Amino acid sequence: MRFENARWPDLASLSDHIFVVPLGSMEQHGKHLPLFTDSLIIGRIAERVEALAADRVVMLPVQWLGHSPHHRRFGCVSLDLFPYIEMIRGLCRSLIAIGARRILLLNGHGGNDIPCKAALRELKSEFEEMRDLYIAYATYWNLAAAEFTEIRESPAGGMGHACEMETSILLARHPELVDTSKAVRGGPSEERGFRTIDMLKGEPFFMINEFDEFSETGVIGMPDFASAGKGEQFLEAAAQAVVRFLGEFGSWDFQTRARA
């Protein structure tokens, strides 16, 4: 069910559901995609997940305000690191107060990674005695990495930001918002060795960079590989992967067993 449609007397009966919080952003996506791209995509995935698992999921509205300071030189609306951490903590505290014991932060923007993981560490310390509380954070393209690898046609470096995948999904569901005449490649490509950036390839090092330091276009990847047909495939693969994760997540009991 959708959280915003519930009435307060309904809340007590939802404690055995998984509360899913879709996380997006408002930031530049090259010259060919809108600022709301991440939020539109995670919203579409959330709709599909809720439809597939309505009996066991409470889906919250997309939290569109993300952590995007690396996009400021191009354009974004961003919450800084510590306020974002506190937003996530406050959001989870609110859900815990109404009885939620399984919460999934379903992420759709890479910049949310660091503050969300920090927030989960703080929440674990705050609620360390609540062994039946499970809070997880997962990014959809990591959950669906195997399927995305099968769907994609671009080489390493082709999927990162405003790329083959994101452009394909917008072409499938919001074609009126895509200006393909302005879709150009950007960012470190497959020839850059350790510096290759791809959402399905983990980097073996960590650095903080502003986006314009490795992309003149605001793009990382190859949007010229995009198509509406692949967009539908990416969406379905993402939703199915999230539902599979929820199936496992909802059955975990290792925290309570660890007390014995």
Closest by alpha carbon to 18, among 235, 252, 240?
Answer: 252
Does position 111 have pLDDT exceeding 60, yes or no?
Answer: yes
The predicted pLDDT at position 127 comes to 98
Neighbours of 143 (CB within 10 A): 23
The predicted pLDDT at position 194 comes to 83
Q: Quote the crossing angle between the two packed helices 37-52 and 164-173, to the nearest 10°.
A: 70
Give percent above pLDDT 90 in the chain.
91
Question: Which regions of the chain does DSSP assign to beta strands (E)?
Answer: 18-23, 26-27, 57-59, 76-77, 102-107, 134-139, 159-161, 220-221
Cα 112 from Cα 99, distance rounded (Å) = 25
Q: Which of 36-45, 97-106, 147-156, 186-195 has the lowest mean pLDDT?
A: 186-195
Average pLDDT over residues 21-26: 98
Note whether 243 and 20 are within 8 A (CB): no
Average pLDDT over residues 50-77: 97
The predicted pLDDT at position 190 comes to 61
Which pTM value belongs to this model?
Answer: 0.96
The predicted pLDDT at position 259 comes to 60
Residue 122 burial by Cβ neighbours in a 10 Å radius (0-12, 13-18, 19+):
middle
Residue 246 burial by Cβ neighbours in a 10 Å radius (0-12, 13-18, 19+):
buried
Read off the tokens for 200.
């399905």
Does position 102 have pLDDT exceeding 90, yes or no?
Answer: yes
Q: Is 144 helix (H, G, I), strand (E, B) or coil?
A: coil
Does position 94 have pLDDT exceeding 60, yes or no?
Answer: yes
- Top pLDDT among 189 and 58 is at 58
Mean pLDDT computed over every residue of the chain = 96
Q: 257 falls in which pLDDT band (50, 70, 90)? A: confident
Give percent above pLDDT 70 in the chain.
98
Residue 94 burial by Cβ neighbours in a 10 Å radius (0-12, 13-18, 19+):
exposed
Does position 260 have pLDDT exceeding 80, yes or no?
Answer: no
Domain 3-258: which CATH number of 3.40.462.20, 3.30.200.20, 1.50.10.10, 3.40.50.10310: 3.40.50.10310
The predicted pLDDT at position 234 comes to 98
Does position 129 have pLDDT exceeding 90, yes or no?
Answer: yes
Cα 94 from Cα 12, distance rounded (Å) = 13
The predicted pLDDT at position 195 comes to 80
Q: Quote the crossing angle between the two packed helices 164-173 and 228-249, to the nearest 10°.
A: 100
Neighbours of 132 (CB within 10 A): 9
pLDDT, tens digit, 9 for 90 and up, residues 171-209: 999 999 999 999 999 998 666 778 888 999 888 889 999
The predicted pLDDT at position 35 comes to 98
* First vs last C-alpha separation in the chain: 34
Query: What are the boundaries of each domain within the chain?
Result: 3-258
The predicted pLDDT at position 258 comes to 66
The predicted pLDDT at position 167 comes to 98
Cα 254 from Cα 260, distance rounded (Å) = 10
Cα 239 from Cα 22, distance rounded (Å) = 12
Average pLDDT over residues 86-114: 98
